[in-house]
Amino acid sequence: MTQLEFEEKLATDAQFKPPECVVMIQCVESRNDERPYCSRICCATAVKNALKIKEKFPDTGVYVLYRDMRTFGFMESYYTKARQKGVVFSIYDTDKKPELIESKNGN
């Protein structure tokens, strides 16, 4: 799901159960030969969603995999706050992009 879809789910789904772990992968299908641009909102939205998860579910592990964390202006302080709350930010190399592997239970 996209960051915007996840943001809406966090805000509106009262049945949203505390996940054990959340992993966000930045720059999926962008910043490549087909789509070389950066939208300039995805990283900020990921940081905002990470903080919201930690606020609602403090024990949930939150990991953000990124190429370049681009938080502009006042969002830089949210990035720092997210790290202080335990959100793990991990850079990945474009030669070794993260891959999704479906689990046995379909999640």
pLDDT tens, 63-81? 999 887 777 777 788 889 9
Cβ contact 22:65 at 8 Å:
no
12 alpha carbon, distance to own chain's centre: 18
Query: Cβ neighbours of residue 40 under 8 Å, at least 6 residues apart?
Result: 70, 72
**Predicted TM-score of the model (pTM):** 0.82
Beta strand ranges found along 1-107 (DSSP E): 21-25, 61-66, 88-91
- Smallest Cα–Cα separation from 85: which of 50, 36, 40? 50
| pLDDT tens, position by position, 42-66 | 888 999 999 999 999 999 999 999 8
How far is residue 95's CA from residue 106's CA, in Å, rounded to a whole number? 27
Residue with tokens 């999926």: 28
Amino acid at position 91, single letter:
I
